[in-house]
Amino acid sequence: MSLRFGTDGIRGDARTDRTVAAVAALGRAGAEVLGADGFVVGRDTRESGPALSTALHAGIAAAGGTSSDLGVLPTPGVALWCRDESVAGAVVSASHNPWHDNGVKFFARDGTKLSDDEQHRVQARFDELLVAGDTPVTVGPEARVVDAGPAAVGRHVDFLVGSLAGRGLAGLRVVVDTANGAATAVAAPTLERLGADIEIRHGEPDGRNINDACGSTHPESLRAAVVEQGADLGVAFDGDADRLVAVDGEGEIVDGDQIIAICALDRHRRGQLVGDAVVVTVMTNLGFRRSMAAAGITVVETPVGDRHVLEALDSRGIGLGGEQSGHVIFRDLATTGDGVLGAVQLLDVVQRSGRALADLAADAMTRLPQVLRNVRVASLPADLDTAIGPFVDAAMSRMAGRGRVLIRPSGTEPLIRVMVEAESDAEAQMEADGLVAAVEAMWGAPRS
């Protein structure tokens, strides 16, 4: 496992021989930096999850701490426990990655993800411990580990149901794809208690089928099921249930941009949009920005990553934000993105409006065609913006304000990501082709 902090914790292939020892050292480092008393650990449904959770508990014990095991629980459920109990925590998950990957992400005592400074401190202490190699990898008899799984699931379901303040979802027919992941613990009981008529798909995890042709990154079968069954809509989550996508009754995808737009406009009309603004990332569609401007809603833009979104929400006192990928943060309710919470809030808008999701999505924003390309490079250039600037300026001039260009380095791979939005697919493809060619000419990696 490559144990370096990325955009969302640490992640890698869990099949390597050194993984358990490394995760134990990571648990010890996290406990020493963030506070060892009452540290909690949750996980998704991956085959490697129990062993890596045990390693984390062993590391926490080595730091002199006590810990509670929350079992299989969505990432936001762990964050909720951290907030309520004022303890630090960790989630063993690789989110939307395949089953053989796994990782760890930490939460601070307030239920938020770590700051850059906290990550650096955990990383530095972990590096020291890994060299020393003296952290136990199993939980000894002296360790104090409490099984809090049932209580954690119940608390999260109560929170999700309570987010509607007594309203319900009776009469809505919903197909729910839990990705054979952590959402299997909470999605069904939540929606059933709210009165929705649901069918669960991909809700039988076996340790290796998480995200396998299902969930928010593979919604094809959900689209077909919604249409075949004549359901009102469908929702799909990723492996750790901190993001979602929706499917309308016609089988069309409703992505994070559209979900945020629908909820922002609904809250704006009811005078409940905190700050009368939303926070989104640079990847958010230009159509979203146009829609918010027309409604008088301020749009605050951040780099990619829900940590950046949360920082902007808190620093500016804004209540709603997220990413096109489906991380949606209702900051007045939660401390992090929560896929099931997002689904409940979206279904509530559908229920109260009496309108089809397809109509709500169409009214909320007109999505411009967007082309995304990844260009593999020999190494990431330090002068990317300066060198590519003239090509971007030329493309923007040709589109005459009717489109948008974003070129940025990947945070995890030797890739330069090229994004173009334009009024038509043909125009977006043409401009993307030209920009990709320019990037390849300057920095492209040799083809084998």
Please report the pLDDT score of residue 145 as a whole number.
Answer: 86
Say yes or no: 76 and 23 in one domain: yes
For residue 96, what is the domain's CATH number?
Answer: 3.40.120.10
pLDDT, averaged across the chain: 94
The mean per-residue pLDDT over the stretch 242-251 comes to 98
Burial of 292 (0-12, 13-18, 19+ CB in 10 A): buried
Which of 117, 150, 183 lies at the terminal end of a domain, its last residue? 150
Which of 327, 344, 364 lies at the terminal end of a domain, its last residue? 364
> In this predicted model, what pLDDT tens digit does every residue of 309-331 receive, in sequence order?
999 999 999 999 999 999 999 99
Say yes or no: 94 and 138 in one domain: yes
In this structure, is residue 194 part of a structural domain? yes
Annotated catalytic residue 95: yes
Burial of 204 (0-12, 13-18, 19+ CB in 10 A): exposed
In this structure, is residue 155 part of a structural domain? no
Say yes or no: 134 and 250 in one domain: no
Please report the pLDDT score of residue 1 as a whole number.
Answer: 45
Say yes or no: 221 and 309 in one domain: yes
Say yes or no: 174 and 316 in one domain: yes
The mean per-residue pLDDT over the stretch 219-248 comes to 98
Say yes or no: 169 and 193 in one domain: yes
In this structure, is residue 1 part of a structural domain? no
Task: Give the pair of three-digit tokens for residue 142.
Answer: 């002296």
Which of 91, 117, 150 lies at the terminal end of a domain, its last residue? 150
Total domains, the chain: 3
In this structure, is residue 157 part of a structural domain? no
Say yes or no: 185 and 58 in one domain: no
Identify the active-site residue in 53, 67, 95, 291: 95
Say yes or no: 331 and 184 in one domain: yes
The mean per-residue pLDDT over the stretch 193-206 comes to 98
Say yes or no: 251 and 357 in one domain: yes
**Percentage of the chain modeled with pLDDT above 90:** 85
Q: Which residue has the tokens 């250039």?
A: 381
In this structure, is residue 92 part of a structural domain? yes
> In this predicted model, what pLDDT tens digit does every residue of 390-437 receive, in sequence order?
999 999 999 988 899 999 998 767 899 999 999 999 999 999 999 999
Contact between 262 and 268 (Cβ < 8 Å): no
Say yes or no: 18 and 127 in one domain: yes
Range of the structural domain that residue 242 is part of? 163-364
Which residue type does 379 have?
S
Sorting pLDDT into bands at 50, 70 and 90, what band is 7? Answer: low
Please report the pLDDT score of residue 131 as a whole number.
Answer: 86
In this structure, is residue 158 part of a structural domain? no
For residue 399, what is the domain's CATH number?
Answer: 3.30.310.50
In this structure, is residue 156 part of a structural domain? no
pTM: 0.91
Say yes or no: 360 and 377 in one domain: no
Say yes or no: 125 and 198 in one domain: no
Contact between 428 and 422 (Cβ < 8 Å): yes
> In this predicted model, what pLDDT tens digit does every residue of 280-309 receive, in sequence order?
999 999 999 999 999 999 999 999 888 899
Count of CB atoms situated within 10 Å of the CB of 350: 23
Radius of gyration of the CA atoms of the chain, in A: 22
Half-sphere CA count of 185, side-chain side, radius 13 A: 29
In this structure, is residue 3 part of a structural domain? no
